Structure 1
Amino acid sequence: MTKIAVTLGEPAGIGPDIGVMLAEKGFLDKNIVVITDPDLILSSANRLKKNIKVNILKNIESKTYSSKNKINILPIKLITKNIPGKMNPRNAPFVISAIKKAANLCLNKKCSAMVTGPISKAVLNDAGYSISGHTEFLAKMCKTKSVMMLMNRKMKIALHTTHVPLNNVSKYITQDSLKKTIQIICKDLKDKFHIKNPSILVTGLNPHAGENGYLGNEEKDIIMPLIKKLKANNLKIDGPCPADTAFLKKNIQKYDVILTMYHDQGLPVIKFNDFKNTVNITLGLPITRVSVDHGVALELVGSNKIDISSFAEALKVAKKYSV
């Protein structure tokens, strides 16, 4: 197995503390390389009163170690002093550099996957970076379309649109764009998840899936005709299903993935189901990228009360589905 590149996200958030706690619990073996400023980790360890040692790599080929309480670090420097719990746009280039470094290591086959910690989109935009999330940023880097999919041990939920204002969602629902989303889901479920003939349930956009046009026309004019075409091509796909019944137990058991039309149509369900063990995996990329499903949680920095379950699960998923 080749190495997995890890970024910890916003330096003023819980990312550095999570890195320290993962090392303390023995989750960071020799195949896990964290791309960060070593001083950020040592400062966090001191704040949490944890005995952590760092192995600073000259490059990705440097010798790494599997040892509890040790972190293998490929170093990049903070731009300005970090104040835990207080985000600073001046450190935005540090955050972006870490993501780019990890992605390029994967694209150049030096790492088999990347796992990302939570970022603040607001701070990055305040610093002049036009970024709506990792999913879109990495798609642009890789020059491809991407699809966000959250998963845990019980279900997989994919999103047709991601970080789009609700009043703009309908503009993104066209037969061409929806077909591309479905093609990406099918390809990655086959290639990365080894599901021979994936089954997909598609939700509608409107209440009651449009009620035959009385509550909206997207289902009748766009989603339903596309699904009929895809079914005629032997794709295992059903819908549009009203979102309020899409996540019934029988559907979770029947379908490999449920495709929702927008961010808050699907994510509340899976996070309510098992927030601690849910991770975000980006489909459509030539690399494997997995992420936690939570934010920067400034209020928990330095508290020793951080739940590292999602990050630990992300590492497991990255190892399992690495390319």
Structure 2
Amino acid sequence: MTAPIALSCGEPAGIGPELALRAWQVLRDSCPFVWIGDPRHLPPDSPVAELDDPAQAMDASATALPVLPHRFAAPATPGIADPRNARGVIEVLERAVGLVQSGAAAALCTAPIHKKALIDGAQFAYPGHTEFLAALAGVERVVMMLASDQLRVVPATIHIALAQVPQVLTPALLRATIEITARDLTRRFGLARPRIAVAGLNPHAGEGGAMGGEELDWIAPLIAELAAEGLQITGPHPADTLFHAAARARYDVAVAMYHDQALIPIKTLDFDRGVNVTLGLPFIRTSPDHGTAFDIAGKGLANPSSLIEALKLAQRMAAG
């Protein structure tokens, strides 16, 4: 890897800045990255190397946290979001995307943002990080994958009410989700024919129509179509038997129908080391699988494991 990973600062009042420092302390010799943000927001007395060019991070990382300075409107108080800094958070994301698109950064890793602060301070018009990055990249549809050493999961629907899932979950959406997942597992993870397991929507995958008809009506026929087109895909499987160790050995990724069906298993198996990967972008993007954690920000209690794993995964994907 000839360019560093770009790490966006995220919400300055959250745990992102302190985790960036702790991640650098662990990865300084093995996974160079450059933090983009306001140095004032880092923990006091952080060893910082302010850079003009991301390429300088490769040398600077041995002795200090490499930083591309981006001045914000206000200081940061841990645990208390300041709407004056909302525009700076957005600008850092825009700058980071520009770096990966130009090749100056090998991949993008994003620290967590706080949506309400962005709405209050900058009228942020996107549901979250992922949708904003897709808009910056000019991509219509992206897919969220949560990954760890033990499991990869993709929810077909994400942040919507459970009552809305049957209406939002359409054949077109599920097909696009599976196709993007298969393509990026090949392109980004080097799996020539990824093994895809698809969960059912209903308990026991509908149990032959006794507990819901979606599996018989269209989910199973769609899976059969995709298999006929060359995908290595099985299902629909009952979700309650899809995530034990023997089942996980039979697939590379599980596609689930809604948020909790996908995220409960991975967070149970590997809560601290799960990584959020956005599939379908023209560049690599990872992020830790946690939020801003205002309640512990600045107290030295935050666990850096997920950010460390997100940076390491971005490095592996870029190298591949």
Q: TM-score range by the shorter chain?
A: over 0.9
**One-letter code aligned to 1:130:** A
Aligned letter for 2:69? P
| Cα RMSD (Å) | 1.9
Aligned-partner Cα distance in 1 for 2:138–2:17: 30
**Aligned to 1:318, what secondary structure does the other structure show?**
helix
Residue 251 of structure 2 corresponds to which residue in structure 1? 255
Match of 1:281 in 2: 277
Give SS of 1:65's match. helix
Q: 2:237 maps to which residue?
A: 241
CA distance in 1, matches of 2:308, 2:170: 37
Greater Cα shift, 247-256 or 20-29: 20-29
C-alpha spacing 1:298/1:251, structure 2 compared with 1 (3 Å): same
Q: Would the aligned equivalents of 1:288 and 1:321 in 2 still touch at CA under 8 Å? A: yes
1:107 Cα shift?
1.3
| Structure 2: segments with no counterpart, 5+ residues | none
Q: 1:174 and 1:319, CA in 2 relative to 1: closer, same or farther beyond 3 A? A: same
Contact 1:33 1:72 in 2 (8 A): yes
What TM-score does the superposition give when structure 1 sets the normalisation length?
Answer: 0.91
Cα 1:261–1:77 change in 2 (3 A) is: same
Aligned partner (choices 93, 102, 105) of residue 111 of structure 1:
105
What is the aligned partner in structure 2 of residue 52 from structure 1? Answer: 46
Any residues of structure 2 matched to 1:57-76 within 5 Å, and which? 57-62=51-56, 65-68=59-62, 70-76=64-70
Determine the C-alpha separation between the residues in 1 that align with 2:231 and 2:106: 30
Counterpart residue identity of residue 11, structure 1: P
Q: Where does residue 137 of structure 1 map in the other structure?
A: 132
* Between 7-16 and 213-222, the greater mean CA deviation after superposition: 213-222
Mapped to 2, the partners of 1:23 and 1:141 lie a distance apart of: 27
Report the counterpart of residue 6 of structure 2 in structure 1: 5
Q: Describe how 1:50-199 pairs up with structure 2 within 5 A.
A: 51-62=45-56, 65-68=59-62, 70-127=64-121, 128-144=123-139, 145-199=141-195
Name which of structure 1's ranges 209-218 and 9-18 shifts more when overlaid on structure 2.
Answer: 209-218
Q: Percent identity?
A: 40
Structure 2: how far apart are the matches of 1:189 and 1:23?
28
Q: How many correspondences in the alignment?
A: 316
Distance 2:108 2:30 in 1: 15
| 2:103 match: secondary structure | coil
Alpha-carbon separation, structure 2, partners of 1:161 and 1:99: 24
- In 2, distance between residues paired with 1:260 and 1:19? 31
Q: Name the CA shift for 1:155/1:302 in 2 (closer, same or farther; >3 Å).
A: same
Change (3 A) 1:185 1:84: same
SS of 1:254 mapped into structure 2: coil
